[in-house]
Amino acid sequence: MKIAVVGATGLVGTVMLKVLEERNFPLTELIPVASEKSVGKEITFKGKQFKVVNMETAIAMRPDIALFSAGGSTSLKYAPLFAEAGTTVIDNSSAWRMDPSKKLIVPEVNAYVLSIDDKIIANPNCSTIQMVVALKPLHDKYRIKRVVVSTYQSVTGTGVKAVEQMMNERKGILDGPMAYPYQIDLNVIPQIDVFESNGYTKEEMKMIKETRKIMGDESIRVTATTVRIPVMGGHSESVNIEFENDFDVADVKALMASTPGIILEDDIDNLKYPMPKDAHEKDEVFVGRIRRDESMPNTLNMWIVADNLRKGAATNAVQIAEFLVKKELI
C-alpha cells in the first residue's frame, strides 16, 4: 500500500502524516510530495526518514492513494494526472468539491456513496465537516428545514502565516508578515475568504452549498456568517436548526451522545461545554449548549467545536482512505 502525501511540508500535510502514524494506517511505502523548493528535504515518519519528491516522481511511483493538501490550482493540475496513473486522490482543496462528477465525503455521513470508480474524492471545507457530522443524525430523525450558522474560526485555518501574524502581534511586533488586512489579536474579523456578488464570502457560500451536497438534500436551507477569531486549537460554531418535526431536548442529547465521532459536553450546572482549547489535537466533533429555540417552533440551538486541522482536514481525509481500504475500493 503506497501512500503519497502531497503538500507534506505544509500545515495540513504535516498533520496528515501525524494522523496516519497515530491511526497506524496500513501503508507499506510513504511518498512525501512538495514543491520543488522542498524536494530533497527529509521528513520523519514512524522513526524513519523519507525524502520529499516532486509531483512527476510521485506520479511515476503510482501510489495507491494520494492525500492532497496543496491548494486548488495544484490539485486541478495534478490530481487528474495521479488519477490517470491509477491513484485514488483524496483532495483537501476546494477544487473539486462542487464538481457534480466528484463525491464530497464525510465518512460518518455519506461514505456509502463511494465506489471503486471514484478516482478523485473531495474533502469538504473544515467548518462544513464538523457541522454535518452533528446534523446528519438530527436530519435522519427530525428532518431539517433550515440551518443558521455563525462560525468562530481559528487562525490555523488560514495557515502558518496567520499564526505567525497573531503571535507577533501578541509580542508587540506589528511589522511582520500579514495574513489578514487587519490586526487579528484582540480583534474579530467578520470575513473569511473573498466577498462574492451577493455579499456573502466564499467561505459562507462553501458552507451553504457543501452542506446540501453532503447531506444529499437540496431542500435544506442554509445561511452562514463566518468569522475569524484570535484562537488556536479549532473552529467553533453556533448553529440554529429548524426541523419539520418536534423533538425532546433530552432525546437530542442522547442522540448526540450515541453518534460515532461525536462527544457530548453539555453540563451547564458544572459549566461543561466544548471549547477549542479542549478540542485541540482531537479527532472527534464536540457538541454542547443544546437547547430549544424559544422564539421558533421545532427549532434547536447547539454549539459545535472541532480541531479544524484534524477532523476539519487531515483526519477526515485519512478516514476516507481507511474506508476505501476497508471496503476494497482501491
Residue 314 buriedness (CB in 10 A; 0-12 / 13-18 / 19+): buried
d(CA 185, CA 187): 5
Separation between Cα atoms, residue 16 and residue 6, nearest integer Å: 10
| 216: Cα separation from own chain's centroid | 18
Q: Is-contact 230 187, C-beta < 8 A?
A: yes
Q: What is the DSSP string of 218-283?
A: TT-EEEEEEEE-S--S-EEEEEEEEESS---HHHHHHHHHHSTTEEE--BGGGTB---HHHHTT--
Classified as helix, coil or strand, 31 is: strand
Contact 71, 93 (CB under 8 A): yes
| Angstrom distance (rounded) from CA 188 to CA 166 | 12
Q: Considering 235, 243, 306, 324, which one is annotated as catalytic?
A: 235
* CA quadruple 270, 273, 279, 280: dihedral sign: negative
CA distances to 30, 37, 80, 172, 193 from 94, rounded to whole Å, are 25, 24, 15, 34, 12
Write down the catalytic residue from 126, 239, 262, 321.
Answer: 126
In terms of DSSP bridges, do strands 221-228 and 65-68 run parallel, antiparallel, or are they unpaired?
unpaired
Contact between residue 19 and residue 322 where contact means Cβ atoms under 8 Å apart: no
Instruction: Please classify residue 177 by burial: count the beta carbons closer than 10 Å to its beta carbon, then call 0-12 exposed, 13-18 middle and 19+ buried.
Output: exposed
Known active-site residue 126: yes
In this structure, what C-alpha cell is assigned to residue 174? 506589528
Rg of the chain on CA atoms, in Å: 20
Q: Which residues are catalytic?
A: 126, 235
